[in-house]
Structure 1
């Protein structure tokens, strides 16, 4: 990973999977800008990242990054496609636990400055996720 910091992989392995929310302050800048649509009730900044992680970990406590590939870096940019799996064991966006196993993907791209994410663009396949927990008919 030429010139890369590995922030995306660390985020998914250590924060999303491992639950180490304290790392969010290490990996991201307090002034980071997030261009992704927030979850309902999600604040901005690092508090928003913590909200996002808590929302997913509460609903899918066994969440795992099945794949983080390819990880690409170019200058101050880092990008990856992530495939997540988990079991719907807690409420998610108003949907009661179903016990369903889910698999969905997302794309993340960040701009890194001084070893921290300062800007984020991303897209999570929420449609596929909501189908798998029965919130949207297939």
Structure 2
């Protein structure tokens, strides 16, 4: 079952998958409030997403679950990508990554007005070789 709010949220992830964080104005309010990984406003959100798109140009989001209550949409995602440029000080490794993310998004009048983002950065860093591996027993 669809809803207008869920449609806006799905479009948000399509824009990310297109590698066009600058186009988020299409679905985000200019006075957006961000929390955690989203930064504090729309400019921060665009910069945060750009910081993943640049090193992972094939970044793709698979929306696993969208749960809505009123105008709040909770999203569980799986991202996949290839590490093609420096990320968090780690040079391009060419490694494929897969990591989870959870977002809580508030939609009002057809636009995202508030977003809280969490992604599994620890898993990304391990997969691109930035963390030591466990020693064999």
- TM-score (normalised: structure 2): 0.86
Tell me whether 1:74 sits opposite 2:75 in the alignment.
Answer: no
Q: Distance in 2 between matches of 1:47 and 1:3?
A: 24
Please say if residues 17 and 60 of structure 2, whose CA atoms lie closer than 8 Å, have aligned partners that are also in contact.
yes
CA distance in 1, matches of 2:119, 2:83: 17
Seen in structure 2, the aligned counterparts of structure 1 residues 51 and 22 have a Cα distance that, compared at 3 Å, is closer
Structure 1 CA distance for aligned equivalents of residues 100 and 87 of structure 2:
17
Q: Retained in 2: the 8 A contact 1:3–1:74?
A: no
Alignment: residue pair count: 132
RMSD across aligned positions (CA)? 1.7
Point out 4+ residue stretches in structure 1 off by more than 6 angstroms. Answer: none
Structure 1 residue ranges without an equivalent (≥5):
none
In structure 1, the partner of 2:110 is 115
Q: Which residue of 2 aligns with 1:25?
A: 25
1:137 Cα deviation from its structure 2 partner: 2.1
What's the counterpart of residue 47 of structure 1? 43
Unpaired stretches in structure 2, ≥5 consecutive residues:
none
| Conserved? CA contact 1:33–1:45, under 8 Å | yes
